[in-house]
């Protein structure tokens, strides 16, 4: 083969590979994860919570219209399929208090994460800024939080590893608390979702069904001095 | 023996490449758009990582059960779901993901329908999911070019002088 023919052949092969790779690489994404029927976001305010009443426990039936995967960084409608429970905790006592949170799901397919934060103008402003995120402020916050907790939580992480990061974060979170001074408030946001892998076989292409689960959510207030957690 | 294996590999790669180029050419000429499935909402019929190829179809030709790609009413992006109900009079459709328990929230109008899914190809969607930057495509091209140039130079150097085949 002459050098000229060889050059033409090489050029043709390279051009072909680039054409094919470019074509497939430029395909737009489609099929949002689980585009659902109506909003399942359920905001529950636990009403004002006096630290003298030191354990507030709520067990709710959760009805999910769709499942999802929190570890999928391409999933941009996550915020649409979760159930959010919000509790505003106000210290109406005389001394500072610590606020702990516990979430106990009734099955392994029910996943959760929670955030306990002091209510302040700065925090409210930050939430408003987060809302500008393309994939929704809650998904963005979960991804950022887990990545800060463990830097291996990045795009491409396996499901098993992602669940380990989530479990470890929740364990660590359980031992942390928010200190609420006299007259101050804290907001606890519990985010729950139905895991796709667990529930995919129960979903049916022909019949409309729902996924139900339960979670026991406890918000615990203790004295700030010793922070002993009641059982 | 070694040479024949090499020839087989070269031939297979050449055929695959030629078919890929032909495929891309047909898609471009026919106006068929390719999309990468980034979720499992149509599982098991469409899986994450599949490529779906969508062609504009007259509304009257659509029917319940067809899989269509639809633009969101607000914001960018599309979703690819099955037609659950169709209203020919008002030219609207209700869609549903095979892996979702309820129909989609929004009724889609004719103008939102990008087209009907003609077929899907497994795995090709991953290309766009992982190559999200034009610079990556350019880098792949440059690497290929360097590799092939290096191979050609090495082969040229190995040839004994006066090899008639090379003339």
| A134: closest chain B residue by CA | B75
More confident residue, A78 or A36: A78
| Three-state secondary structure call for residue B158 | helix
| Chain A CB contacts of B165 below 8 Å | 1
* pLDDT of A203 higher than 80: no
Whether the upstream peptide bond of residue A200 has omega within 30° of 0, thus cis, is no
Confidence grade of residue A39 (pLDDT, cut at 50, 70, 90): very low
d(CA A64, CA B100): 10
| B46: closest chain A residue by CA | A31
Angle at A208 between CA A204 and CA A209, to 5 degrees: 80
Confidence grade of residue A21 (pLDDT, cut at 50, 70, 90): confident
Tell me what pLDDT residue A153 has: 93
| Three-state secondary structure call for residue A214 | strand
Whether this prediction's pTM lies above 0.90 is answered by: no
More confident residue, B106 or B53: B53
CB atoms < 10 A from the CB of B48, how many? 21
Q: Is the CB of A34 less than 8 angstroms away from the CB of B100?
A: yes
Give how far Cα A110 sits from Cα of A101, A185, A215, B53, Å.
17, 28, 8, 35
Interface list for B 87-146 with A (CB within 8 A): 97-105, 124-125, 127-129, 131-132, 136-137, 140-141, 144-145
d(CA B18, CA B66): 31
Confidence grade of residue A196 (pLDDT, cut at 50, 70, 90): confident
d(CA B162, CA B167): 9
Angle at A221 between CA A218 and CA A226, to 5 degrees: 130
More confident residue, A79 or A146: A146
Q: Is the CB of B145 less than 8 angstroms away from the CB of A14?
A: yes
* pLDDT of B70 higher than 80: yes
- Mean predicted confidence (pLDDT) in A7-31: 78
All residues at 6 or more sequence positions from A10 whose CB lies less than 8 Å from its CB, including other chains: B148, B149, B152
* pLDDT of B132 higher than 80: no
- Mean predicted confidence (pLDDT) in A185-194: 88
**CA-based nearest residue to B41, from A43, A195, A68, A207:** A68
More confident residue, B85 or A207: B85
If you average pLDDT over each of A45-54, B61-70, B149-158, which comes out highest? B61-70
| Chain A CB contacts of B158 below 8 Å | none
Tell me what pLDDT residue A162 has: 94
Confidence grade of residue A147 (pLDDT, cut at 50, 70, 90): very high
Tell me what pLDDT residue A205 has: 46
Residue B37 at interface with chain A, using a CB cutoff of 8 Å = yes
Nearest to B38 among A10, A20, A29 (CB): A29
- Mean predicted confidence (pLDDT) in B14-40: 87
What are the tokens at A78? 């996550």
Respond yes or no on whether ipTM tops 0.85. Answer: no
d(CA A50, CA A55): 10
Tell me what pLDDT residue A164 has: 95
Confidence grade of residue B54 (pLDDT, cut at 50, 70, 90): very high
Picking from A6, A23, A30 by the largest number of B CB atoms within 10 A of its own CB, the best residue to mutate is A30
More confident residue, A59 or A89: A89
* pLDDT of A138 higher than 80: yes
CB atoms < 10 A from the CB of A80, how many? 22
Confidence grade of residue A30 (pLDDT, cut at 50, 70, 90): confident
More confident residue, B59 or A222: B59
């Amino acid at each position: 083969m002459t050098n000229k023919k060889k050059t033409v052949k090489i050029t043709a092969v390279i051009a072909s590979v680039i054409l094919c790779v470019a074509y497939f690489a430029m395909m737009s994404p489609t099929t949002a994860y689980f585009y659902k029927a109506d909003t399942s976001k359920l905001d529950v305010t636990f009403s004002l919570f006096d630290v003298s009443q030191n354990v507030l426990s709520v067990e709710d039936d959760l009805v999910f219209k769709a499942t999802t995967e929190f570890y999928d960084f391409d999933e941009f409608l996550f915020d649409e399929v979760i159930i959010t429970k919000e509790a505003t905790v106000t210290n109406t006592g005389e001394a500072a208090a610590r606020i702990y949170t516990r979430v106990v799901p009734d099955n392994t397919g029910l996943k959760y994460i929670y955030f306990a934060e002091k209510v302040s103008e700065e925090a409210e402003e930050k939430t408003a800024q987060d809302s500008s995120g393309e994939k929704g402020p809650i998904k963005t916050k979960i991804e950022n939080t887990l990545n800060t907790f463990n830097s291996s939580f990045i795009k491409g992480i396996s499901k098993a590893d992602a669940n380990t990061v989530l479990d470890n974060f929740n364990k660590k979170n359980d031992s942390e608390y928010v200190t609420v001074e006299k007259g101050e408030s804290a907001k606890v946001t519990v985010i729950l979702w139905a895991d796709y892998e667990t529930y995919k076989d129960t979903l049916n292409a022909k019949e409309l069904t729902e996924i139900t689960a339960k979670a026991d959510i406890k918000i615990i207030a203790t004295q700030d001095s010793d922070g002993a957690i009641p059982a | 023996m070694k040479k024949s294996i090499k020839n087989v590999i070269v031939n297979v790669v050449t055929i695959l490449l030629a078919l890929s180029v032909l495929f891309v050419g047909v898609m471009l000429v026919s106006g068929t758009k390719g999309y990468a499935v980034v979720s499992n909402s149509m599982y098991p019929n469409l899986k994450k990582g599949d490529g779906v190829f969508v062609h504009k179809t007259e509304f009257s030709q659509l029917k319940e059960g067809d899989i269509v790609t639809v633009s969101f009413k607000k914001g960018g992006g599309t979703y690819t779901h099955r037609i659950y109900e169709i209203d020919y009079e008002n030219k609207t459709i209700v869609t549903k993901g095979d892996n979702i328990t309820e129909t989609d929230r929004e009724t889609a109008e004719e103008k939102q329908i990008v087209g009907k899914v003609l077929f899907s190809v497994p795995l090709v969607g991953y290309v766009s999911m992982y190559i999200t930057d034009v610079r990556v495509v350019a880098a792949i091209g440059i690497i290929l070019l360097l590799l092939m140039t290096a191979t050609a130079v090495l082969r040229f150097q190995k040839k004994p002088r006066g090899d008639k085949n090379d003339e």
